[in-house]
């Protein structure tokens, strides 16, 4: 199983010479999800060898430019690469108009369909599900409608102990019910408890992405116990007033969220361009939550390690 997050962009509104606006690739079971698509995203994808053709689902947190300005170019590049498979775009409804105007006046006629999934901003909802995982929205507190996303691996089936299969002469057709948690009834009528036949299930992986938001305790229930939390940390805490005015979070506040929600690891990003050196933000966060790391572009974070 592979559950990996690759950072493509970690800057806030203004890019710098070495930091690009928000964008990430989440890879789970060879499914590739793009989260946000700031300016320069497709260049970063080429730099870090992300395969364009594998992306079928794009999640846009909100409509500020540093999260969407790379999207028209990326979609146009897919067209020029002769893509014909549908793209699923999860976004707030006005993005459809933004893209259609862009394509209308550039006379771009895509070879593939964009399947829109519009996000609500009044209630969290599950927006994706397959046999391996689910994805749900987090309602964030920003100046305009903004959603985060929680990726949750489904609990896997139990693993059969081979030694017990041999000991009880369990046949292949008897295995599926045991994997689903049922006890085994032998041909002689003996009941064998499921826990004797199987290994305890692995704890499912989980990842939460909180893009732009003020510190807000209303999102805590959805973040409880996630393995990896990405949370914006635009400013240091000495600029708390500025953070509140712009509906952003400080590094200290992001770490407080991680500590209260008992996550395993915290990634901070969406850094203001005023910070050339990010280590002070990291140090501030680690005073509250030790397992904090910087969202450095090009780095990947494996959840199943």
β-strands 31-35, 55-59 pairing = parallel
Given the residues 36, 66, 174, 212, the one annotated as active site: 66
Give the residue with greater pLDDT, 157 vs 273. 273
> Side-chain half-sphere of 22: how many Cα atoms within 13 Å?
29
CATH 3.60.15.10 describes domain 3-156+202-302: yes
Query: DSSP secondary structure string, 170-202?
Result: --GGGHHHHHTT--EE-TTS-EE-HHHHEEPPP
Is 174 annotated in the active site? no
pLDDT in tens, 152-194: 999 877 788 888 777 777 888 878 887 888 888 888 778 888 8
Burial 252-284 (b: 16+ CB within 10 A, else e): bbbbbbbbebebebbbbbbbbeebeebeebbeb
3-state secondary structure of 152: strand
In percent, how much of the chain has pLDDT > 70? Answer: 99
* pLDDT value of position 183: 84
225 Cβ neighbours under 8 A, 6+ residues apart: 206, 261, 262, 263
* pLDDT value of position 305: 58
State the Cα torsion 303-153-226-239 to the nearest 10°.
Answer: 80
Residue 254 has pLDDT above 60, yes or no: yes
Most confident of 149-163, 199-213, 283-297: 283-297
Q: How many residues does the chain have?
A: 305
- Average pLDDT score over the chain: 94
CATH 3.60.15.10 occupies which residues in the chain? 3-156+202-302
β-bridge partners, 232? 269
* pLDDT value of position 221: 97
Cα–Cα distances (Å) from 16 to 42, 240, 271, 292, in that order, read 17, 22, 10, 23
Reported pTM: 0.90
β-strands 147-153, 133-139 pairing = antiparallel
* pLDDT value of position 186: 80
Give the residue with greater pLDDT, 167 vs 11. 11
pLDDT in tens, 92-150: 999 999 999 999 999 999 999 999 999 999 999 999 999 999 999 999 999 999 999 99
In percent, how much of the chain has pLDDT > 90? Answer: 79
* pLDDT value of position 178: 76
């Amino acid at each position: 199983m592979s559950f990996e997050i690759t950072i493509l962009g970690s800057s806030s509104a203004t890019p710098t010479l070495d930091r690009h606006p928000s964008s990430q690739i989440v890879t789970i079971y060879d499914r590739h999800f793009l989260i946000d698509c700031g300016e320069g995203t497709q260049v970063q994808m080429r730099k870090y060898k992300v395969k364009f053709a594998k992306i079928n689902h794009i999640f846009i947190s909100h409509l500020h430019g540093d999260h969407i300005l790379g999207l028209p170019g990326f979609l146009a590049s897919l067209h020029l690469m002769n893509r014909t498979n549908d793209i699923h775009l999860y976004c707030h409804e006005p993005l459809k108009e933004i893209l259609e105007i862009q394509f209308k006046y550039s006379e771009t006629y895509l070879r593939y369909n964009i399947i829109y999934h519009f996000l609500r901003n009044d209630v969290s909802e599950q927006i994706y599900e397959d046999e391996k995982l689910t994805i749900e929205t987090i309602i964030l507190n920003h100046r305009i409608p903004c959603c985060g996303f929680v990726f949750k691996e489904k609990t896997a089936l139990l693993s059969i102990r081979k030694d017990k299969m041999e000991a009880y002469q369990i046949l292949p057709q008897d295995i599926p019910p045991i994997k689903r948690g049922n006890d085994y009834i032998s041909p002689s009528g003996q009941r064998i408890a499921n826990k004797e036949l199987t290994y305890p299930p692995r704890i499912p992986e989980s990842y939460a992405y909180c893009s732009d938001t003020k510190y807000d305790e209303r999102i805590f229930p959805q973040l409880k116990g996630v393995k990896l939390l990405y949370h914006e940390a635009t400013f240091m805490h000495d600029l708390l007033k500025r953070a509140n005015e712009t509906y952003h979070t400080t590094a200290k506040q992001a770490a407080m969220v991680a500590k209260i929600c008992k996550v395993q690891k915290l990634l901070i990003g969406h850094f203001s361009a005023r910070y050339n050196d990010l280590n002070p933000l990291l140090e501030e966060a680690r005073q509250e939550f030790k397992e904090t790391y910087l969202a450095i572009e090009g780095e990947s974070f494996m959840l199943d390690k």
